[in-house]
Amino acid sequence: MSENEKAWARAAQAGSAEDFAQLVRLNQQALRAFLRRLCGNHADADDLAQETFVFAWEHIGRFDPARRFRPWLFGIAWRKYREKKRGWLRLFHREQAAEKETVITPDPGLKLDMAKALAGLAAEQRAVVLLCLMEQMTHEEAATALALPLGTVKSHIARGREKLGLALGGPYG
């Protein structure tokens, strides 16, 4: 974490909304991109991002400024996503039933785009892949953000890469 980030975090903990706004500006684009890929829906992702920032502001006192802010923030976003997902459970079951009924015939000339390939991963696995491969967090940071054991994160990365490779017609396909 840069010295500016550390200073903004400490000032935000002391009550500075302006310094917290600096942290928001620094992380907003990456957080929204993460949530959009995770949710597959821009409106829901933007709502979750807003909820995440509000929660982070309300609980900034829990943040340890000796650590990086981004993994802490993304951990909040992941938990907000999981909470919201419970509300989407009925829709999720309908989508799962529709996917089981849909037969996809592979076309060697057709490669799925990354969004479709990511949608094929389980939510927890997709979150790990997004954080480590797209947000360039370390396995340890992703484990902290998602409150998962380090071994689980590493397992999700290995299996996620394999599944993405298959979906994209890469080396595993």
Give residue-wise pLDDT tens across range 59-91.
999 999 888 999 999 999 999 998 887 765 555
Q: How confident is residue 106, by pLDDT bands cut at 50, 70 and 90?
A: very low
Domain stops at, among 102, 132, 148: 102
Residues 92 and 131 in one domain: no
> Which CATH number fits the domain that encloses residue 171?
1.10.10.10
Residues 84 and 153 in one domain: no
Residues 112 and 140 in one domain: yes
Residues 32 and 114 in one domain: no
Domain stops at, among 82, 102, 122: 102
Residues 155 and 125 in one domain: yes
pLDDT recorded at residue 104: 47
Residues 24 and 92 in one domain: yes
Residues 72 and 138 in one domain: no
Q: How confident is residue 46, by pLDDT bands cut at 50, 70 and 90?
A: very high
Do residues 140 and 150 make contact, with C-beta atoms less than 8 angstroms apart? yes
Whole-number Å distance between alpha carbons of 133 and 21:
27
Residues 88 and 15 in one domain: yes
Residues 6+ apart with CB under 8 A from 83: none
Domain stops at, among 47, 80, 102: 102
Domain containing residue 142: 107-173
Residues 87 and 127 in one domain: no
Residues 12 and 55 in one domain: yes
Give pLDDT tens digits for 119-171.
Answer: 889 999 999 999 988 888 999 999 999 999 999 999 999 998 888 888 877 65
> Which CATH number fits the domain that encloses residue 43?
1.10.1740.10
Residues 135 and 166 in one domain: yes
For residue 17, pLDDT beyond 80: yes
What domain count does the chain have? 2
Residues 43 and 114 in one domain: no
